[in-house]
Homo-oligomer: A and B are copies of this chain.
Amino acid sequence: MAGSSSDHLVGSLTPFFSPRRVAVVGASREKGSIGARVLDCLRSGGFGGLILPVNPRADSIDGLRAFSSLSAIPDSIDLAVITVPAHLSLSIIDECAAKGVPAVIMIAAGFAETGERGARIEQELRTKIQQQGIRLIGPNCFGLMNLDPTVRLNATYTPVLPPFGSVSIASDSGGVGAMVVMAARRVNLGISTYVSLGNHVDVNVNDLLEYWEQDSNTQVILLYLETIPDPHRFRRLAERIGRHKPIIALKAGRTTAGQAAAGSHTAALATNDRAVDALFTHCGVIRASTLEEWLALAVAFSNRRRPAGRRAGILTNSGGAGVLCADSCEKEGLFVPPLPPSVSATLASFLSPLAALNNPVDVIGLATEDQHAAATETLLRSDALDALIIAHLSINVADNDQAAAGIIRGIRAARLAGSRKPVFLCWMAEGDRDRHFSVDGEAIPTYHTPDIPALVIGQLLSYEAWREQSLDDVGLQSARKLPDLNLPQAKAICAKALLDRGPGWLTTKEVQTLLAAVNAPLLGRLATDPEEAVRAAETIGYPVAVKLASHHILHKTELGAVCLNLTDAQAVRQALKTIKERLVQIGKADAMEGVLVQPMVSGGVELLIGATRDPHFGPVIAVGLGGIHVELLGDVQFGLAPLTNRDVSRMIRNLKGYPLLTGYRGRPAMDVRALEDVLLRMSCLVEAIPDIGELDLNPIIVLPEGQGCTVVDARVLVQAPSEH
């Protein structure tokens, strides 16, 4: 899978994570300065290698020998952490090059995020490091940590070290990433490495994914992203790596307002949130919707236990907490099944007569440690459940110790008896909120509100479902294997139209030829005069529809330029006459290319297939129920090209109106396979031809099974790719 180029990439990043000799350029005695803070952090973190401060005005800093410049250092350097301001960055890179430094972390802000002048420096920086073969993290970043006990590298400016563990973090925001690092101990989250990406002039999230794929410490990957560089590479990597190491992403700049903020913050391109959703769905990335959920998922995925199904047990000491947990299970699609009588009987044998023995089980507020332990063990060992949520609500700080001890004893006993079921705690114990639950090395995911456990269980199940899909399904190539696509011809049509007329809509004839080339033909025959139209109608067979063919007029129905149910030649002639008159009335007599003569189609379901081109993510493909369903009710699903067989199947089945296609209320089942086929063809078309800016098959009518689909109307916009 990962070939030698990947090995090369991983090798180039190794000095960041496992350096032996680290220079701090701009190391300073001035308390509170970044230079002083980074030096402090490196030292207090317990870094095992050599720390080499560089400062032109000091021989030593805090007892460490300092050097006046990089070149003054006698030995080689693996990593330089640069804390000097932006305007000095270029000359420092020259020094790094001269010294042969392979890896540089640049902390300072003042680059593209601050405007044009900064952007120019950033561009020069990019050019320089590319020329010199230096790998760079930043600028405008918070640095990097590697918590591996054999390394202990804290090249950031927060002295707080999280516990070592299996989660690696990349963050587009130094602050948000640092927040996780600082919160890690409180939420009992073990961190492997942390990288603040800053303006990711060189090292980006994709590089880190490849690094972490081969890093045995990293088992879970946590991403805070404001932009996704090279989405195609991201998709390929995430799909491969995510199967073994779950990737949990908080993608900010979701919305218009957020995107404006992202733009000013990291000079990122505006992205389309629907495209992000489609991308993550494609490649199994777990998307958190809030910061809190993101952290909660990191904690849950760090524990390797996974629920085998949707049956949740709830154990509580407060009826209200149980109800709230049950509500959230239902909301997330989990079941809270009644317990088998034998389990209830076991519970009854040791719980208070006031306890509730159904699911949720309420041990009541005054339960003893033994009761907590026995109830926990009993539920964890029951085959009727796939996961256990324990909701503890404390009314007395003094009671928490015995409840916690009982819960831990119960989990331990169940584990010793072979229970593999995951446990999630909702620990609502005021005055004792930050208690950790670890049982023989297993960190029990612990939260403070009743809605989080169900939410993370739902995400664990979704992830496992994605992961268990057979690898064959995942092949991105499947869509390209359609044998009857004449993409060169399609490409030529678009290129010619663009050359002849510039950007704009294709003519009906062009659309007809284009769609024929990809074997998703536009219904009907084009005719340029009444007699040709009549001949077309007679070939097709009455009744027919006659519609204006014009690439200048997009709303034909509103204009009255669509005549339906014509039953004879006279009606066809009259239709052409009427359409011409309408065009004359609006002063567009020239706009008429002819008419499209079509058979009347009935007995199918109207849908829309469309494609637009996101400036960053490329072609975004949509499918939805036709007419008002798309426009008002928003029943549309999106995917990114290239679509796979699995993608088109998922997109269509996720439509709320999908039952209309499967034999709704006695209607026949529709030819879903044919619809999937057209979606794949459109994906191939827009992927292969960057000239296509927009494409609409609207409506496309899916006919009963075995009868295929029919494209009743279509429009295609061509434009030079740079104009998208």
Contacts and interface: CB of A to CB of B under 8 A. Distances in A.
A178 B261 contact: no
A265 B629 contact: no
B451 A395 contact: no
A323 B158 CA distance: 22
A158 B258 CA distance: 44
A329 to B, nearest CB: 6
A430 B179 contact: yes
A393 B177 CA distance: 10
A109 interface: yes
A42 interface: no
A584 interface: no
A257 B330 contact: yes
Nearest to A250: B324
A350 interface: no
A632 B171 CA distance: 40
Interface string A248-267: 00001111111011101110
Given A430-B183, A558-B666, A257 B327 contact: yes
Copies of this chain, count:
2
12 contacts: A160-B430, A173-B321, A175-B321, A175-B365, A176-B324, A255-B331, A257-B326, A261-B323, A266-B319, A291-B451, A632-B657, A632-B664
A314 B252 CA distance: 15
A356 B632 CA distance: 38
Nearest to A226: B323
Interface in A257-314: 257-258, 260-262, 264-266, 290-292, 314
B657 A252 contact: no
B450 A336 contact: no
Contacts of A396: 37, 157-159
Contacts of A110: 353-354
Contact of A395 (B182, B258, B397, B450): B182
Given A252-B327, A323-B261, A633-B629, A395 B175 contact: yes
Contacts of A182: 394-395, 430-431
A428 B665 CA distance: 53
B428 A327 contact: no
A114 interface: yes
A660 B327 CA distance: 35
A510 interface: no
**Closest 10 interchain pairs by CB?**
A173-B320, A175-B318, A255-B330, A258-B327, A265-B319, A176-B320, A182-B430, A257-B330, A261-B326, A257-B336
A252 B318 CA distance: 13
A120 interface: no
Interface of A: 32, 34, 37, 109-110, 113-114, 142, 157-160, 171-179, 182-183, 186, 224, 226, 252-258, 260-262, 264-266, 290-292, 314, 317-324, 326-331, 334-336, 353-354, 356, 358, 360, 362, 364-366, 393-397, 428, 430-431, 449-451, 558, 628-629, 632-635, 656-657, 659-660, 664-666
Contact of A158 (B264, B266, B395): B395
A722 B288 CA distance: 47
Given A173-B319, A323-B261, A178 B395 contact: yes
Contacts of A659: 632
Contacts of A264: 319, 356, 358
A173 B325 CA distance: 13
A175 B254 contact: no
A291 B430 contact: no
B142 A395 contact: yes
A109 B364 contact: yes
Contacts of A256: 330
A393 B175 contact: yes
Contacts of A330: 254-258
B261 A360 contact: yes
A186 to B, nearest CB: 7
A664 B323 contact: no
Contact of A252 (B174, B323, B334): B323
A400 to B, nearest CB: 12
Most B Cβ at <10 Å: residue of A34, A109, A331: A109
A475 B256 CA distance: 40
Contacts of A395: 142, 157-158, 174-175, 178-179, 182
A174 B320 contact: yes
A318 B291 CA distance: 14
B323 A262 contact: yes
Contact of A260 (B326, B629, B665): B326
A250 to B, nearest CB: 8
Contacts of A327: 252-255, 257-258, 261
A379 to B, nearest CB: 15
Nearest to A327: B258
B175 A320 contact: yes
